Structure 1
Amino acid sequence: MSVKKDSKLKRFIIHFILLVSVALALYPALRVFGISLRPTSALHTSSIGIIPDNPTLEAYKTILFEKPFLTWLKNSLLVTVFTVIIGVSLATTAGYAFSRKKFTGRKAGLTFFLVTQMFPATMLILPMYLLLAQFGLTSQEIIIPFIGLSKVHLALIIMYSTTALPLCVWQMKGYYDTIPGSLEEAALVDGLNQFQAFYKIILPLAKPALVITALFSFMTAWNEFMVARILMTDSNLYTLPVGLRNLASQFNTQWANFAAASVLIMVPVMAVFLILSRYLVGGLTLGGVKG
């Protein structure tokens, strides 16, 4: 009986801690959502309620139809998609090479990737800016009119990809190490070449790591503010974090509009996590192979 009571008490404590953690995590987001529903006359209320009196969607209407929010959204999606594609492509191939191949400089390369993670990304702003300026990538000039890609967007893609790459390479390399090399040997015996063995055998097994790598690259590009704020001067080229900051003036800020924009920025992130959740949770065992 005492064992069962201890087990029930343990489960109760664990569930209680989890519920409190969830509440603490959700409360700030709910507060922001509540502020976005406040009418203009109640922006500075001291009420602690989540839903204000006389809630209104006026702030969302203002953000979507009176502010260039959709332009900022397009710019953020453009930069983020290219960052994810480049980051995942480089990380999957580089991680595979570091995991499977023996070559001169392999350990030094891995150590270099690891050392770069010891320093904040802000330290790279000045040297990267000077380097990008030499290549003319700090200009606001549009280079691909069809999708609205500018030189400064290309600069952001390069910076975000290089910032996220070291951790992504280590992550992919570690996951490839858990996949037995005998699978590739069997594929080579069956007539596949090295690339086919990687693409058809190893890559599908590494799907959970690919998803996590894509998510890390996505979050790096989606949330970054400092670099984008320094490089961008044209408001039509702003990404969402820079555009959101632009909504706050020095002397007066429409907090309902600011909160509404924050909520809208969270929507794509939530959608991505919901879409990929089955790979993050249930799919984590797809690549596990017992030797």
Structure 2
Amino acid sequence: MRADRTSLRPWQVATLVALLGFALFPAYWMVSTALDPRASTRGGSLLPSGLTPRHFSFVLGDGGFGAFLLNSALVAVVTVLISSAVALLAAVAVARFRFPLRRQILVMILVAQMVPLEALVIPLFLQARTLHMLNSLLGLAVVYLAFSLPFAVWQLRGFVAAVPVEVEEAAYVDGCGWGQMFLRVLLPLVAPGLVATSVFSFITAWNEFIFALTFLQDDDKYTVAVGLQKFFGEHTADWGPIMAASTLITVPVVVFFLLVQRNLVSGLAAGAVKG
């Protein structure tokens, strides 16, 4: 009886286990250190000296990290919702309509995605100061929108272009207006691409540090990336609270990814081959 060709050989299993352990070890170290009551003196020990939620209580209580989580969640949600809506409408425009400089606009969108973020700190800071948007979560969300939109428009354009025009024309024949066709026909078909771009927008808004540090001044408006530095001293670092705060930063990203993972994989794959 022939062996199943899909079964893995022992060396393949060992390789997968080694790679999985290598990938998950930083997460294990972060969580175990956050729960270790002697995190600052742990050294290179693989096992924590014990388990305690004391560091999480300190971070969320005296450390004020709950407010930072709320600020980041607000900025991320605003960024995801607005960037998804604007990018989808822009993608429909460049994929379905013919207008002057259409190709040049697409090239400019791609070029904007290639500009290093660090090169934009000073220009955006001066512009935000002129518009009185410094030290504002709304101003920070607008900046993140500018970062997210080029990738989102370019990605969604492929999904919109892949939908046959005949499908839209059939909806018109059945009596749908443009708005009904958009909501009932086009939107469900490009939903996987919308999920893929929303993940990128969420991670950008949640993890970004340089612009949040530059734009925000009041402690009560800090996002999680900026608030994390409060647990670093001038000469020492309190590793227990640092790892507890890092765990709290990681959990929402993981949860968001798990919620959209089905559509994310299909969206990235489809966006890579359609256009």
Q: What is the TM-score when the length of structure 1 is the normalising length?
A: 0.86
Q: Which runs of 5+ in 1 are unaligned?
A: 141-151
Is the Cα contact below 8 Å between 1:62 and 1:257 reproduced in 2?
yes
Offset, 1:10: 6.7
Alpha-carbon separation, structure 2, partners of 1:12 and 1:208: 36
- 2:173 maps to which of 184, 189, 212: 189
Offset, 1:211: 0.6
Offset, 1:19: 3.4
Is the Cα contact below 8 Å between 1:205 and 1:286 reproduced in 2?
no
Alpha-carbon separation, structure 1, partners of 2:84 and 2:106: 17
**Which residue identity is paired with 2:254?**
M
Answering whether residue 27 of structure 2 is matched by residue 43 of structure 1, we say no
After TM superposition, list the pairs within 5 Å mapping 1:115-126 onto structure 2. Answer: 115-126=111-122
2:230 matched to which residue of 1? 246
- 2:125 maps to which of 111, 122, 129: 129
1:52 matched to which residue of 2? 48
**Which residue identity is paired with 2:176?**
L
Alpha-carbon separation, structure 1, partners of 2:268 and 2:211: 33
- 2:249 maps to which of 257, 265, 287: 265
After TM superposition, list the pairs within 5 Å mapping 1:96-115 onto structure 2. Answer: 96-115=92-111
2:185 matched to which residue of 1? 201
| Secondary structure of 2:158 counterpart | helix
Is the Cα contact below 8 Å between 2:207 and 2:225 reproduced in 1?
yes
Runs of 4+ off more than 4 Å: 4-17, 281-287
2:207 matched to which residue of 1? 223
Is the Cα contact below 8 Å between 1:207 and 1:286 reproduced in 2?
no
How many percent of aligned residue pairs carry the same amino acid? 36
Gap change, CA 1:247 and 1:112, over 3 Å in 2: same
Is the Cα contact below 8 Å between 2:159 and 2:270 reproduced in 1?
no
Answering whether residue 234 of structure 2 is matched by residue 234 of structure 1, we say no
Q: How many residues align?
A: 271
Gap change, CA 1:286 and 1:205, over 3 Å in 2: farther
2:28 matched to which residue of 1? 30
Q: Which runs of 5+ in 2 are unaligned?
A: none
Alpha-carbon separation, structure 1, partners of 2:183 and 2:115: 34
